[in-house]
Chain A
Amino acid sequence: MSETFLLRGARILDPAQGYDAHGDLLIRDGRIYALGPDLAPTADAAVVTLPASWVLTPGFVDLHAHLREPGFEAKETIQSGAAAAARGGFTTICCMPNTQPVTDSAATIAYVRDRAKDAPARVRPIAAISKGEAGKELAEMAELAEAGAVAFSDDGRPVSSSRLMRSALAYAAPLGLPIVEHCQDEDLVGAGVMHEGAIATLLGLPGWPAAGEDVMLARDLALVRLTGAKYHAAHLSTAGAVALVRQAKREGLPVSAEVTPHHLLLTDAWVAGERSGPLADALAALGIAVPPGARYDTATKVNPPLRTTDDCAALLEGLRDGTIDAIATDHAPHTTVDKACEYADAAFGISGFETALASLLALVHAGRLELPTLVAALTVRPARAWNLDAGTLAPGAAADLTIFDPDEPWTVEPGRFASRGKNTPLAGLTLRGRVRQTWLGGRRVYDVGGEYPSF
C-alpha cells in the first residue's frame, strides 16, 4: 500500500540537517522522500496544506517515560501511554523497567514490544541494570540487549552499590548501550520528599538535599573514568549536577544527560502553592495569569524534586550550551488515589507527555530559549545520545513528524488527557503552543482537529 503525502506550507525545522525554512515535505511509503522549497506534487500525492505559522519537526524522542505496563495498568498502559505521547508530539518513547515484573528478562522485553506493536508511538524498552532492580546482581544484560533493550537503568531504585555500578558499566561497555542512572544517594536523601531549603522549612516537609544528586553523579563519573563505558544521567535537577556533567564532557568522557520540562520550569515554591520560576515568569510576560496553587499540592511531588530558580537557570544554561543533551519527560502517571493523600505519602511523579511542548514553548516565547535548540533537544540530540534511529527528516528516515502551532493557547485539563495519569501541577493553567498533528511512519496518529484518531 503505497501512500504518498505532500505536506506544504509550514516552517520545517530539522536541526539534524540544519534545516529551518518554510517548505514542503514529501512522504512516500512511510519514509521521508524529499524535503525542500516548492516540491512538485507527484500524481499520486495527497496534498496537505498547513498554515505558514505552524512548525513541522521530526517526531519527538523521549529517553525517559514510565508506561507502567506490565503490572500497574491502573496508572497507565502501553496503549494509553503511547496515545498520550502522540498527543504530546512524541513518536519514540523509551520506557523504564520499573514495572511488575521488572523488565529484567528477554521475556518481559518481548512482552512490552508485543503490546506496543500497534501503538501510536514507537516504544523502545529500557532494561533493568540489576535483577528485580534490587541492586544486588546484574541482570542478563547481553541477552536483554539482543532482545531489543536500548539502555539499562534501575530508575527509581538508584544503584547504591559502587561495586555493582562499576560492574554494570564495565559489562555494558562492549554492548554499546548506555547505563542510565537516577542519581540519588538514598542514605543522604532518606525520607526527603521535596527540595531541602526555605520552602521545606516553611512547610515542615522532610528535605531532599541537592547534594544527594551531586554525590551520586560524582561517584558515577569516577566510575565512568575507570571503565570508559557509556553513561547517561537521568533528569538532572541541580546546578551542581550540570557543572559535573559539563566538566566530564570537557574531559571527553562518554557521558550524556537529560533534563525534564518540570525541572527547567518549576520551582520548589510550587509545593507551597507559590508559583515562581521560569514558567510563571514566562507566562506572566505573555500576559497569561498564573493563579496561586494549593499548599501541599501532591501533583508537585516528583523525584528528584522541584528545586530553586537558580537550579532552573543552571539547567537552562546547560541545555543551551549542550552540556545537557536531551529534554526527557520522565512521564510518570499515577492514579488519583496515589496522589489524593498526605504529601509525604503521595507517589512521586508527573504525567508529562501532554504538556511538555506547550510548557517548554513558554521559554521560547519569553526569549529565554531558541526554538531550534528546543527542537534539537527533543529530536536529534536524544537520538544521537543513544544511537536511536529517529529524530531527523533526512530522506530515507521514517516519516515520524510533529506539527505544532507555536502560538495557540489552550488550557490544561487533565480530565481530557489520553494518559491515565491526570497528575500534573499545570492543571487549569493556560499555555501557549499546541501539537496539531503527529505522524508515525507516514501515518497520521494524532490530529487535534479530530479528523483522525485523536486518542
Chain B
Amino acid sequence: MNNNETIMEVKNLVKYFPVAGETFGKSSLLKAVDDVSFTIKRGETLGLVGESGCGKTTVGRTIMRLYEPTSGKVIFKGKDIVSAKPNEMKSIRRQIQMIFQDPYASLNPRMTVSDIIGEPLDIHRLAKGNARKNRIHELLQMVGLNAEHATRYPHEFSGGQRQRIGIARALAVEPEFIICDEPISALDVSIQAQVINLLEELQENLGLTYLFIAHDLAMVKHISTQVAVMYLGKIVEIADSHELFANPQHPYTQALLSAIPTPDPKIAKEHKRIILEGDVPSPIDPPAGCRFHTRCRFAKDICAQQEPEFKGDSKHQVACHLI
C-alpha cells in the first residue's frame, strides 16, 4: 500500500441551496458549504466535526454528487468527479460508498438482508447466481453476521446489527473510499464500540479510506488520522488528529473541545469549560469577516471585516486573525 498517495482532494468546494426568502418572497442562498478544501491519503481517515447544520453531511453528499456542487473540484484518484460524464460517474459511484446515521431509515423494510446486500451487486453486474449468494455470505461474515441472517428482514435486527447490514451493503461493490455520516450516533455506547472496531478492522484488511463525519469528538479522535473542524460552512482548523486535540488553536475548536464532558469525576471537577454565548447564526446570511466573530471572546475589529486566511504548515492549518 502506498501510504503517500492522495486518494481524495477536495478543492474550494462550494454548495449553496436556493431558499425562499422571508421578506417579499425573494429567494436567497443558504451557504451550506462555502469554500472547503482538504486532502485524504489512501488508507487514512479524515474526521469531520462541527455542530449540526454546519455543513458536514452536505460535504459528503456533494463529494458523491448526490448534490451538484455550486463550484469547486473533487479530485478522486487524479480525476475530477465534478466534471465526470455520466458513464464515468457510474464507475466512480462504485468506488465511493456511503454509510448513514440512521440504520432504521436507510434499509428498505420490505427487502431481505440478502436482497439489500445483493442490490448493489446487481446494479453493477458484479455477481450472479451462486457467486452472488457466496459473495453475500462472505460480506455478512466480514461484518460479523452470518449466512442465516440473509433471509431475514431489517426489523428483526437490533440497531447495531442493522448498521452492520448497511456496512456490508457499502462493501459489496469493493469501494476504496467510504463516507461514514454519523454511523454510530443512533447506537448505544456498548454497541458503538462494536461498529467502530469493525470499521477499523475493515480499514486495515481492505486498505479503505474514510471520511468520518461525527459529533462525538472522543470517537473522532479515536478513529481519525486527521481532523477538520467546521463552523457555518467553513473549515476553521484542520490538523493531524493527535495535534488537533493536544494543541487546538482556533477559538472555536478550543470551545468545542472544552465542552466535551469527561468520564472521570476528578478531571471533570477541575475542568473549566469555555462557554460560548448564544447560538450558531443562520447560514442564509452568515456574519461577514470571520463567521465565528459573533461568539468569539477574542474578536477584534478586523474579525468583522476581513475573512481570516489559513495559516500553518501541512500538519496544522488554522483560519484565525489571532494566529
Is chain B a partner of chain A in the same complex?
no
Interface on A for B, CB 8 Å cutoff?
Answer: none
Interface on B for A, CB 8 Å cutoff?
Answer: none
